[in-house]
Amino acid sequence: MRNNKVALIVVDALRFDTACSHMGFMQHLIERKMAARYEVCSEVPSLSRPLYETILTGTPPIVHGVTSNMTVRLSVQNSLFHLAKSNGLTTAAAAYYWVSELYNRAPFMHMEDRLQFDTQLPIENGLFYFEDHYPDSHLFADAVWLMDQKQPDFLYIHPMNVDDDGHKFTSDSLQYRNRVLAVDALLSMFIPKCMAQGYEIIVTADHGMTRDGNHGGTTAEDRHVPLFVISNYVKAGIKNGIVSQLQIAPLCCHLLNIEPSEEMVPLLLEGVHALKKA
């Protein structure tokens, strides 16, 4: 069996309903039967650092122990980066510095850790930013550089501007909605590049955003996020029902064709096909 390449894109604070109404390119892929869309309910607390860890390890906060944004330490779980490396695959990330603190080095040293290229680390090739307003356009350009120059098997991309505008202006604002339009436009340029290089592509979010300009609670505004999958191994179309965020990590393992960790739940997503032999 061959290994696939996977690009996992986590758009920070992208609500499910706003993704459905404002991401025209992603809807185009669905209508052309090139993408699947699921509705995901995040774990709680619906905060960024705990849910980065949940997405990348497939474990809930009570298990992985990162229960707030103030928990600054390396992960003690088997993340997708660790699993990829143990299977001889290469890893890369263009992401917020909290991701580096979870998997490479903690605490993050701002003047030293922005660029990380070390094959001994779980994230072998890392371009990390530390300002929430770091432009998404630059972040996707960083990801393209990693894809072209390092050709990672597992590439993690994490833009922050949707979250930044949600906190500044609330989810019920033209700024938030326009930022979702803007990230969709960036995806319309980035995703074809990924497809041309043979990546299976996942687009999701850690949590949502409320009309109060925050997140962390239990409402659908806080917790319901999209999951788009562009893969020959996932049947295209809009899926009914709500799925657990814990499904994302085992889905990545399935698409990478590696064994999930013992802590991950079984993969139960509708429409997922078995991988074909090389």
pLDDT in tens, 56-89: 999 999 999 999 999 999 999 999 999 999 999 9
Q: Which domain holds residue 46?
A: 5-256
The mean per-residue pLDDT over the stretch 180-192 comes to 99
pLDDT higher than 70, residue 1: no
As a whole number, mean pLDDT of residues 156-179 equals 98
- 236 lies in some domain: yes
Q: Is residue 262 included in any domain, yes or no?
A: no
Q: What are the tens digits of pLDDT across the range 194-214?
A: 999 999 999 999 999 999 999
Give the mean model confidence (pLDDT) for residues 78-102. Answer: 98
Residue 34's CATH number: 3.40.720.10
Secondary structure in 3-state letters for 89-142: CCEEEEEEHHHHHHHCCCCCCCCCCCEEECCCCCCCEEEEECCCCCCHHHHHHH
pLDDT (mean) for 179-187: 99
Q: What is the pLDDT of residues 114-153, one digit of tens each?
A: 999 999 999 999 999 999 999 999 999 999 999 999 999 9
The answer as to whether 275 is a domain residue is no
